[in-house]
Structure 1
């Protein structure tokens, strides 16, 4: 089987080991804002609210803010099981993308007749995120620099040729890696953000608008009571007229949707800050995000203080679909990422990693979020962002509020919004299917991108596995 560039040009193991030595296994974003974090008290006793939100990540926080902007007199209470933003919202790469369909190719395959509208609404959503950041003075290192999509194998170069094509010299003038054969620069569709800062700032704005936030308040009971809904936590009980479930990769409180998503673990490295000389050796003056074109792809970006985040490639599903802190540490994935990093940037040999971490992505069979109502229209739910939720969660928040309010809007009329994807099968079928799919994707990456019968069949059925 042919080798990929990361195998052909692998660095020495001693370089990898030295770079990882001393790194800590926790998200950099949280460490960077630890001194800014405020705590919110757990829910205690009985309370009532117009709108209850379960989950304190991007989806929950955007829903809270938008709900108060729509109706300032509405009472809104957000319940978070641990700390706001501790899960996927505080562990991602900080790519805030316009796409609400997990890329144009996925959208074209599933909803070709409304792709122009989906693209327009996605761009509008990103524009509104930028406007919100300016309106509230949100400090989250927002940089709308776009993304470079790069080819690192000859067959990928052939796929890129067309409008916007940049040859090796042009792409390496933007960011100098010997692995880059060509690329395109999508300039308007992606912004870089600091996820830790954005989470804390959204929480600040929500509180200023009158939202009640309770941390350490995991919801264990969701029960209809006539026209209202009862939510129970370990220490309290909340009576709500309407509920939004924003629980991401965690098991849904709605049993019917338990297998509509599975948690897939993604892994990330963060370097120490680059010196001026190190930064000059690679360029990157326009500070774009980067993504390569493999099925097992890498994503990387530069931070405000000139660290490099490097993640992706491995997408790991654990039997039973469990979300557990023990999965955050995976030495094999971190070693592989470090190796691929130094293949990408051999001129940075000697640079060390300060942080390494993992986290669960809520993957759906259609690769992007779906939206649902339950309990007679009193409970709204969205999940399945499949790794592209930083921007899409705000769009989803608007969809859920539209649905709870019974509104007919351009969002709710989309077929993409109205359809529910098929669930994953129960175990052990999901585990077997995911492992077979991962094997097939790896084979395709090692065979000039050629997809085997299993992948072609899944493509035809609109099913799959991604991160």
Structure 2
């Protein structure tokens, strides 16, 4: 970046104009078109598909975090229970292997969003979320899961003047929530864009998301869960006192089933309108030199995020071969007409160029850094931005989805809810309004596409107007489809 560009590039929109196109092109040249986390020699060998028909006590559909936590905890609750997990491709290949590795305590996509939708139980949900995060840490330790679990917290950074007031309001919310002025935040992470920060020391752990999935896979196998990869489930139907799940390789008859398919079309048709797939994108740098690391500071390794509606998230990542990289993602959230999902949607050159320009605006001292990986993936978005639950077949089937990008931690809580629902006895979790109430469904096309486009445009306007929500966003808030993180 030129000296003038470094001096004048004070917003991300300016970065897209001032960072030379040749710089972003050179930085992205040769970047692998796939998730960094899955490009790892530690990835387990494929497991065989189902071969013929099978019977089981519990069938779990989906080999991401939701399904893995459900299968593991089902065996922990009842070691004698036969549990079969069916995954359409590979364990952790979708959102569980593509996310940023932010394992957050929040179950409601932030405290403000929880207060907005569930004010009467928001405080209890905060407590349950902290308990859940501690239990994840305990599980990682108990099974020896090598996923780089680091309880570093998150640093929310102000990149505009009006953000500073927001952070000051939240500062002092607890002994582990610390407001940092401009000088203090620059001592943590050196970026000319940062005006202030809020460090929540205990609300988030950072980890390697794919290795968490693979560690849960190993723990499942060690406890006796039977896992079949490349076994997509095509349909589910009642069969007397059981349910039948039809696959390409045979039928599984199960006394109960737990569905952790998240962004993929639900086997329960009545829940399909509650989810839309939204594509998120990320870059990973090549390993940084010692001099580059000294130039940015960041010794406390917090996860970072800015405060606009179109926000960035970024973090340090340890390379399996040694060295430290930076993951930089977010900002663009892309919905495709008709709720369609295609492999080609995972690659969006204009977003990768935009993210690269924003990276260089954030860290101009890293102007010669190259990116090794660029990728995207679909997020299971619901209208309240945190998970919802359902049952079917007279309580024999449980379903959870709608994590909206915060599933690294919340899926474990959701798995416990599904097991409670299948157990048939009320628990504290099943009595929560969060569990009993569902979000509003999205309308069918073309209304869904038009509404999402209108909302995206309104969010952009709010970012450009010091966060003030216009009439459209206020209307969405009024009908229960608003979001406040």
TM-score range normalised by the length of the shorter chain: over 0.9
Shift of 1:35: 4.3
Aligned to 2:363: 345
Q: Distance in 2 between matches of 1:261 and 1:346?
A: 38
Aligned to 2:286: 272
1:356 aligns with 2:374: yes
1:148 aligns with 2:148: no
Q: Distance in 2 between matches of 1:182 and 1:220?
A: 50
* Residues 131 and 356 (structure 1), Cα distance of their counterparts in 2 relative to 1, 3 Å cut: same
1:12 pairs, out of 20, 35, 49, with 20
Structure 1 gap ranges (5+): none
Deviations 1:399-432 (A, max 9, x none): 0000000122221111111111111000000000
Structure 2 gap ranges (5+): 1-8, 172-177
SS of the residue corresponding to residue 99 of structure 2 reads: coil
Aligned to 2:58: 51
Deviations 1:57-106 (A, max 9, x none): 00000001000000000000000000011000000000000000010000
2:87 pairs, out of 80, 100, 115, with 80
Aligned to 1:214: 228
Shift of 1:15: 1.2
* Residues 86 and 36 (structure 1), Cα distance of their counterparts in 2 relative to 1, 3 Å cut: closer
Q: Distance in 2 between matches of 1:165 and 1:8?
A: 27
Q: Which moved more, 1:158-167 or 1:363-372?
A: 158-167
* Residues 253 and 426 (structure 1), Cα distance of their counterparts in 2 relative to 1, 3 Å cut: same
Matches within 5 A, 1:310-325: 310-325=328-343
Equivalent residues of 2:56, 2:252 under 8 A apart: yes
Matches within 5 A, 1:371-410: 371-410=389-428
Equivalent residues of 2:440, 2:480 under 8 A apart: no
Equivalent residues of 1:96, 1:190 under 8 A apart: yes
1:449 aligns with 2:467: yes
Aligned to 1:119: 126
SS of the residue corresponding to residue 339 of structure 2 reads: coil
SS of the residue corresponding to residue 373 of structure 1 reads: strand
Q: Distance in 2 between matches of 1:146 and 1:440?
A: 30
Deviations 1:166-197 (A, max 9, x none): 11110110000100000110000100010111
Equivalent residues of 1:150, 1:181 under 8 A apart: yes
Number of residues paired by the alignment?
A: 464
Deviations 1:195-221 (A, max 9, x none): 111111100000000000000100001
Aligned to 1:157: 164
1:63 aligns with 2:81: no
Shift of 1:321: 0.4
Aligned to 1:433: 451
Q: Which moved more, 1:405-414 or 1:20-29?
A: 405-414
Aligned to 1:31: 39
Aligned to 1:296: 310
Deviations 1:227-271 (A, max 9, x none): 100011111110000000000100101010111110000000000
Q: Distance in 2 between matches of 1:14 and 1:277?
A: 24
Equivalent residues of 1:434, 1:465 under 8 A apart: no
Q: TM-score, normalised by structure 2?
A: 0.94
Matches within 5 A, 1:238-253: 238-253=252-267
Deviations 1:298-346 (A, max 9, x none): 0000012311000000000000101211100100110100000000000
Equivalent residues of 1:4, 1:445 under 8 A apart: no
Q: Distance in 2 between matches of 1:322 and 1:241?
A: 32
Equivalent residues of 2:105, 2:410 under 8 A apart: yes
Shift of 1:109: 0.7
Matches within 5 A, 1:183-194: 183-194=197-208
Aligned to 2:247: 233
Shift of 1:368: 0.4
Shift of 1:465: 6.8
Q: Distance in 2 between matches of 1:378 and 1:4?
A: 55
Q: Distance in 1 between matches of 2:417 and 2:46?
A: 29
Shift of 1:8: 2.8
Shift of 1:461: 2.0
2:111 pairs, out of 104, 107, 113, with 104
SS of the residue corresponding to residue 46 of structure 2 reads: coil
Shift of 1:11: 1.7
Aligned to 2:354: 336
Q: Distance in 2 between matches of 1:20 and 1:465?
A: 33
Equivalent residues of 2:10, 2:193 under 8 A apart: no
Deviations 1:416-452 (A, max 9, x none): 1111111100000000000111111111111221211
SS of the residue corresponding to residue 231 of structure 1 reads: strand
Runs of 4+ in 1 over 4 A off after TM superposition: none
